[in-house]
Amino acid sequence: MTTLFEPLTIGSLTLPNRIIMAPLTRMRSKQPGNIPHELNAEYYAQRASAGLIISEATQVSQQGQGYPATPGIHSPEQVQGWKLVTDAVHQAGGRMFLQLWHVGRISHTSHQPDGALPVAPSALAAENSGTFTADWQETPILLPRALEIDEIPGIVADYKAGAGNAKAAGFDGVEVHSANGYLLDQFLQDSSNVRTDHYGGSIENRARLLLEVVDAAIGVWGKERVGVRLSPYGEFNGMKDSNPIKLFTYVLGELDARGVAFVHIIEPRSSHAGMQDESLEDTPQTASLFRAVVKTVLISAGGHTPDSANEAMENNSADAVAFGRHYISNPDLPERIKNLAPLTPYDRATFYGGDTKGYTDYLPLNEKVA
């Protein structure tokens, strides 16, 4: 029986365990410029015992930003800032992929170049959703502008440039963020994509942009260092599709055909993307829905506990398990799980923005408060 503490090969990288640090937006980049800095390096290095760290979502362009103080990967200063982080993680023995991100319609004019409207596949606002302005004021989502078809190659180019910058910054690979109602997910799902050109309508057309982005990332990194994150039943940011099984079966088949290193799937029980502590009960598992069509490494994310992670290994519903909120408050999470030690509770009030409090001040088991 496979356990969480057996090595795992993803593409050309061997992980010492199967406990993954999920991408976690923390809004603590240096301003101005959305630049990673020493505090971020300390935070990630503290968590280097993970089998793999996937960075917080990182915008590939200024247009791709939707929240204040989220880091970018599109300026020389950001690349150098991330190099501080990857150097610290590698010195601590860890491995780290950068998550490439464009928020699409989940933005505000204050984040956009020249105060422009956010962009999306179609001019449809996200229901029951909001964000923060550049000065941290809560705001509802605006009606976005639909991307013109001749703009789409530029979006792909931004992802490709971000992948190249991630390599220059010393990452071990990249994850393409196509989950949680952001731009690539908006193109995939028919509640947010009503285009009538070859990026809309059929499943094949709606998946076209994601697959072009994946191909661009593979062109930079090779297939063995590119993963993709999906949320087939995610409701966060107003998402819904009329036939998610058919849609995501097709997408997963295309990703398998490309030989990506892994697919990272958010469980249906965590369809609100970690914005609430309770997981939904009586929902299907990705194993029963998609395991049969996933030939590559499958990472399961969303509301996991040590018990559910061990169960995923026992029943072969995933090859690795990603933890989010528990990684915030337990920098030594693999050691705690291995030793059946209690987990430190997290403080949701310190998730977004701020300084060291709730960020780098959580101690491992073997350290005491002075």
Sign of CA dihedral 11, 86, 358, 100: negative
Predicted pLDDT at 369: 47
Distance CA 251, CA 193 (A): 16
Summarised one tens digit per residue, pLDDT across range 114-165 is 999 999 999 999 998 899 999 999 999 999 999 999 999 999 999 999 999 9
Predicted pLDDT at 281: 53
What's the rounded mean pLDDT across residues 227-237? 92
Where in the sequence is the domain holding 56, given as residue range(s)?
8-350
Residue 83 near residue 44 (C-beta atoms within 8 A): no
The two tokens of residue 200 are 């809309």
Helix, strand, coil percentages (3-state) for the chain, rounded to 5, are 35, 15, 50
List the alpha helices (DSSP H) in 1-150.
38-46, 76-91
Predicted confidence (pLDDT) at residue 279 exceeds the cutoff of 60: no
Distance CA 272, CA 234 (A): 6
Q: What percent of the chain has pLDDT over 90?
A: 87
Choose the weakest-confidence range: 26-30, 75-79, 229-233, 329-333.
229-233
In a domain, 215, yes or no: yes
Predicted pLDDT at 285: 72
In a domain, 355, yes or no: no
Considering its fold, how many domains does the chain have in total?
Answer: 1
Q: How far is CA 306 from the centre of its chain?
A: 21
In a domain, 301, yes or no: yes
Higher-pLDDT residue of 365, 182: 182
In a domain, 3, yes or no: no
Distance CA 354, CA 352 (A): 7
In a domain, 266, yes or no: yes
In a domain, 1, yes or no: no
The domain that holds 35 is classified in CATH as: 3.20.20.70
**Residue pointed to by tokens 């979502």:** 57
In a domain, 86, yes or no: yes
In a domain, 292, yes or no: yes
Predicted confidence (pLDDT) at residue 236 exceeds the cutoff of 90: no
Paired with 178 in beta bridges are: 230
Predicted confidence (pLDDT) at residue 284 exceeds the cutoff of 70: no
What residues act catalytically? 182
